């Protein structure tokens, strides 16, 4: 069963603020920059170390191998996406206000963390041949779907069957992710703010078809 607590729950675990983990975050931020500069394949311990000004042996102390580092980075990126969504939801009121805030959250995140957005965009390519990245992307989508479902349930109650609400939440999440990936991976024809506003209008039109 999906309930309102799903709105402010994160599927990703941010690092607690311990000294050891602060160094991990420093390395992860360097990894994000490396992915933006060199792509996934070009991101090696050597590249990350050069950006973070750390030796390879220092990196291995915190991350046993490259895969562990990459997936810690993806978890960190996922946690930051979720955190911005949670902040946006908590500052909004009513189902409509929270729906609008939830739609805008990824755009706020992209503007706040452009390096992380670029790294997240590269996951799309990895998903085509690596199940681990596909699972990661699916996890992000499921969290978004659950949040949209909760808000749609508040709006429509029993007037719309639960199955239809779930389909609608998936359609909304797919539309939102599609607009974001399109912006990251192509030469955008409108500003991020304009795309955000357009996405909000398009999704509310979709919701209106059920009213």
pLDDT digits (tens, 9 = 90+) for 152-178: 999 999 999 999 999 999 999 999 999
Question: The domain that contains 48 carries what CATH number?
Answer: 1.10.10.60
Check whether residue 136 and residue 87 sit in a common domain.
yes
Check whether residue 179 and residue 90 sit in a common domain.
yes
Better pLDDT: 201 or 83:
201
Check whether residue 27 and residue 125 sit in a common domain.
no
Assess whether pLDDT exceeds 60 at residue 40: yes
Better pLDDT: 99 or 7:
99
Check whether residue 92 and residue 179 sit in a common domain.
yes
Q: Is residue 9 part of a domain?
A: no
Q: How far is CA 7 from the centre of its chain?
A: 15
Q: Is residue 115 part of a domain?
A: yes
Q: Is residue 10 part of a domain?
A: no
pLDDT digits (tens, 9 = 90+) for 59-75: 999 999 999 999 899 88
Question: The domain that contains 188 carries what CATH number?
Answer: 1.10.357.10
Check whether residue 101 and residue 160 sit in a common domain.
yes
Using pLDDT thresholds of 50, 70 and 90, give the confidence band for residue 139.
Answer: confident
Give the range of the structural domain holding residue 29, as residue numbers without chain letter: 16-64
pLDDT digits (tens, 9 = 90+) for 113-128: 998 888 887 878 888 9
Nearest to 44 by CA among 11, 21, 66, 25: 66
pLDDT on residue 140: 86
Domain count, the chain: 2
Check whether residue 55 and residue 130 sit in a common domain.
no
Q: Is residue 129 part of a domain?
A: yes
Q: Is residue 203 part of a domain?
A: yes
Nearest to 102 by CA among 90, 91, 88: 88
Check whether residue 26 and residue 93 sit in a common domain.
no
Q: DSSP state, 16?
A: P
Average pLDDT, the chain: 88
Assess whether pLDDT exceeds 60 at residue 1: no
pLDDT on residue 161: 93
Q: Is residue 211 part of a domain?
A: yes
Check whether residue 142 and residue 183 sit in a common domain.
yes
Q: Is residue 72 part of a domain?
A: no
């Amino acid at each position: 069963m999906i309930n309102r607590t799903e709105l402010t729950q994160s599927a990703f675990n941010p690092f607690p603020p311990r000294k050891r983990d602060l160094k991990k975050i420093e390395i992860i931020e360097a990894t994000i920059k490396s992915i933006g500069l060199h792509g996934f394949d070009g991101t090696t311990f050597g590249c990350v170390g050069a950006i973070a000004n750390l030796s390879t042996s220092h990196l291995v102390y915190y991350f046993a191998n490259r895969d562990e580092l990459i997936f810690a980075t993806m978890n960190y990126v996922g946690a930051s996406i979720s955190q911005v969504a949670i902040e946006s939801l908590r500052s909004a009121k009513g189902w409509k206000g929270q729906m609008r805030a939830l739609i805008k959250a990824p755009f706020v995140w992209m503007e706040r963390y452009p390096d992380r957005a670029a790294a997240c965009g590269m996951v799309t390519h990895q998903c085509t041949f690596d199940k681990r990245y596909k699972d990661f992307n699916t996890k992000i989508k499921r969290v978004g779907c659950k949040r949209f479902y909760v808000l749609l349930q508040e709006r429509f109650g029993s007037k719309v069957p639960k199955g239809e609400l779930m389909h609608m939440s998936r359609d909304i999440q797919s539309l939102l992710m599609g607009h974001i990936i399109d912006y990251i991976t192509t030469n955008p024809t409108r500003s991020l703010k304009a795309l955000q506003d357009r996405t909000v209008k398009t999704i509310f039109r979709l919701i209106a078809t059920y009213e």
